[in-house]
């Protein structure tokens, strides 16, 4: 294995521009890294190696002809929930066995227009439902820092392959923290854009009012680059917003002078692991040293964010997943005598237990007699959570907080107790409910050697603010440059 797989996206672009390597060499190094490491990590579900190599050779030829693109010849990994023409898109589920995407998601199309190559599809919790990537129908992904631990979820495969240098960067999706939490658990950078910033067209829906596509990268500069390519309105997605797409790369600075950062007292509560809190507070002090003023803010409805999220998300999932019935595409159960039995058998055999649990819960909260008591009330509380953030951002530019109350836990530790796993999302779901942007950056390690993530939250369409904070912090620390021994030793 060479060393090209350890590059950031920006470094790869520079190498390609300067002729220090070819796109084909870059792809081959990543394929070699996957061969060496993924037997342990299990971060990829599928590699499109031959096609990636062919596209790399084409990119190299285009470069010689003078063609340019911000990502020309750069290989990326994609979470198995985004449609890429000609690739299987199974969402970590058996119910989509046999489905091949006939089109590119808008985010994919925009990256492809700049020359990006999509080298493989990453593992995930089935339909994005989970926080550990243990709910995949194809087996769990393991954390590169400790293979006995989870990588987080649901974008755990994307985070793991980036952390293990099996990808320069990867796309994920964040519904309640599914980019930020695995980024924190695996020691990489994860960005959840504001709702409406990136088109959801071609993203298989879990919860339509919450889902958002975001990058997992080796540093903040790469996240800014990828966001700048993907962002912007899309006529095929009515939830995308006509908001100015800023120069996110220019927003990445090296100091925080003049910025006021909020510290939410409601996030530093009982249950926050001491080693995690210590790393977060050290990161806050570093931000002070970089020139920021830190002020206390209140987000009083944080304590009700989890039940609110799991009512809203499961209700929307119940409606969205009704389309998977064995009739039009994907898996179809055998032995059914009529169409209703096709539906029942296909869904019973095709969906995993966590998906079934959430469909049942969502159907219940939408049912007659319970719709007002649960779903309508949850939407009202969601409004209160959004107002909490609006009030907080009147007194600060961005908010600093933990990503999760703990570092990565052991495989199987929480599978028997879904409620405990749900509670692990307490610091990520409020931002998702409010539709604001959030960034996770590495800020330290526990005594057991597991990464800790600092969460930077900004107002809706305030990505430049969170990128500035994250970039300045990273330029003054080296946490994001550290790599797991597994990757350094070539998977031995």
Give me the DSSP letters along 320-339.
HGGG-SSSSSS---SS-SSH
Distance in angstroms (rounded) separating the CA atoms of residues 14 and 223? 16
Class in CATH terms, 4-302+382-488 = alpha beta
- Whether 489 shows a pLDDT value over 80: the answer reads no
- Whether 416 shows a pLDDT value over 90: the answer reads no
Distance in angstroms (rounded) separating the CA atoms of residues 339 and 152? 38
Sign of CA dihedral 185, 464, 237, 77: negative
| Distances in whole angstroms, Cα of residue 409 to Cα of each of 131, 147, 186, 376 | 11, 11, 11, 34
Tens digits of residue pLDDT in 62-106: 999 999 999 999 999 999 999 999 999 999 999 999 999 999 999
Closest CA to 163 of 341, 41, 321, 336: 41
- Asked if 326 and 332 touch (Cβ cutoff 8 Å), the reply is yes
- What value does the mean pLDDT take over residues 350-364? 97
- What value does the mean pLDDT take over residues 18-39? 97
Order across the sheet with 189-192: list the strands.
44-47, 117-122, 75-79, 170-174, 212-217, 189-192, 437-445, 451-458, 398-402, 260-264, 293-297
- Coil, helix or strand at residue 492: coil
Mean of pLDDT over the chain: 96
- Whether 185 shows a pLDDT value over 70: the answer reads yes
Q: What is residue 487's predicted lDDT score, i.e. its pLDDT?
A: 75
- Asked if 401 and 280 touch (Cβ cutoff 8 Å), the reply is yes
Q: What is residue 488's predicted lDDT score, i.e. its pLDDT?
A: 67
Q: What is residue 491's predicted lDDT score, i.e. its pLDDT?
A: 44
Tally the C-alpha atoms within 13 A of residue 74's C-alpha that lie toward its C-beta.
30
Tens digits of residue pLDDT in 115-128: 999 999 999 999 99
- pLDDT-derived band at 490 (thresholds 50, 70, 90) equals low
Tens digits of residue pLDDT in 202-257: 999 999 999 999 999 999 999 999 999 999 999 999 999 999 999 999 999 889 99
How do the domains of the chain map onto residue ranges?
4-302+382-488
Catalytic residues: 79, 154, 178
- Asked if 342 and 336 touch (Cβ cutoff 8 Å), the reply is yes
- Asked if 442 and 479 touch (Cβ cutoff 8 Å), the reply is yes
Q: DSSP string covering 139-205, please?
A: ----BTTBTTB---SSSHHHHHHHHTTS-S-EEEEESSSTTHHHHHHHTSEEEEPPTTTB--TTBPP
Query: Is the pTM of the predicted complex or chain greater than 0.95?
Result: yes
Distance in angstroms (rounded) separating the CA atoms of residues 474 and 320? 39
- Whether 1 shows a pLDDT value over 60: the answer reads no
Tens digits of residue pLDDT in 252-306: 988 999 999 999 999 998 889 999 999 999 999 999 999 999 999 999 999 999 9
Distance in angstroms (rounded) separating the CA atoms of residues 91 and 153? 13
- Coil, helix or strand at residue 32: helix
Q: For 14-37, b where at least 16 C-beta lie within 10 A, e where not — what string? A: ebbeeeebbbbbbbbbbbbbbebb
């Amino acid at each position: 294995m060479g060393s090209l797989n350890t590059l950031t996206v920006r470094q790869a672009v520079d190498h390609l521009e300067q002729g220090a390597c070819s796109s084909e060499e870059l792809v081959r190094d990543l394929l070699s890294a996957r061969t060496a490491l993924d037997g342990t990590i299990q971060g990829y579900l599928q590699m499109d190696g031959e096609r990636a190599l062919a596209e790399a050779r084409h990119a190299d030829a285009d470069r010689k002809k003078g063609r340019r693109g911000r990502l020309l010849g750069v290989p990326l990994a994609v979470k198995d929930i985004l449609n890429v023409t000609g690739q299987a898109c199974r969402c970590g589920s058996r119910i989509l066995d046999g489905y091949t995407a006939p089109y590119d998601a808008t985010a994919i199309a925009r990256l492809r227009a700049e020359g990006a190559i999509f080298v493989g599809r990453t593992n995930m919790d089935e339909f994005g439902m989970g926080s550990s990537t243990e709910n995949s129908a194809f087996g769990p992904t393991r954390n590169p820092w400790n293979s006995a631990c989870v990588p987080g979820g649901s974008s755990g495969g994307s985070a793991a392959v980036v952390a293990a240098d099996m990808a320069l960067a990867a796309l994920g999706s964040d519904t309640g923290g599914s980019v930020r939490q695995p980024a924190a658990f695996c020691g990489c950078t994860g960005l959840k854009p504001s709702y409406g910033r990136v088109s959801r067209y071609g993203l298989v829906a879990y919860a339509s009012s919450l889902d958002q596509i975001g990058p997992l990268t080796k540093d903040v500069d790469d996240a800014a680059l990828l966001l700048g390519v993907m962002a912007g309105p899309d006529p095929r997605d009515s939830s995308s917003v006509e908001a100015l797409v800023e120069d996110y790369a220019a927003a990445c600075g090296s100091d925080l002078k003049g910025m006021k950062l909020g510290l939410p007292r409601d996030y530093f509560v009982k249950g926050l692991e001491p080693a995690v809190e210590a790393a977060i507070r050290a990161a806050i002090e570093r931000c002070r040293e970089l020139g920021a003023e830190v002020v206390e803010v209140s987000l009083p409805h944080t304590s009700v964010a989890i039940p609110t999220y799991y009512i809203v998300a499961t209700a929307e999932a119940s409606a969205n997943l009704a389309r998977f019935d064995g009739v039009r595409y994907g898996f179809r159960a055998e032995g059914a005598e009529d169409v209703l039995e096709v539906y029942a058998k296909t869904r019973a055999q095709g969906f995993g237990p966590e998906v079934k649990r959430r469909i049942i819960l969502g159907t219940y909260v939408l049912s007659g007699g319970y719709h007002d008591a649960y779903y309508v009330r949850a939407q009202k509380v969601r409004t209160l959570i959004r107002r909490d953030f609006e009030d907080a951002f009147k007194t600060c530019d961005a908010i600093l907080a933990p990503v999760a109350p703990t570092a990565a836990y052991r495989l199987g530790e929480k599978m028997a107790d879904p409620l405990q796993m749900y509670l692990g999302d307490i610091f990520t779901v409020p931002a998702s409910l409010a539709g604001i942007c959030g960034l996770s950056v590495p800020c330290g390690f526990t005594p057991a050697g597991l990464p800790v993530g600092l969460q930077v939250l900004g107002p809706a369409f305030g990505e430049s603010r969170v990128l500035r904070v994250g970039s300045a912090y990273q330029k003054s620390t080296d946490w994001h440059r550290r790599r797991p021994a597994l990757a350094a030793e070539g998977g031995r």
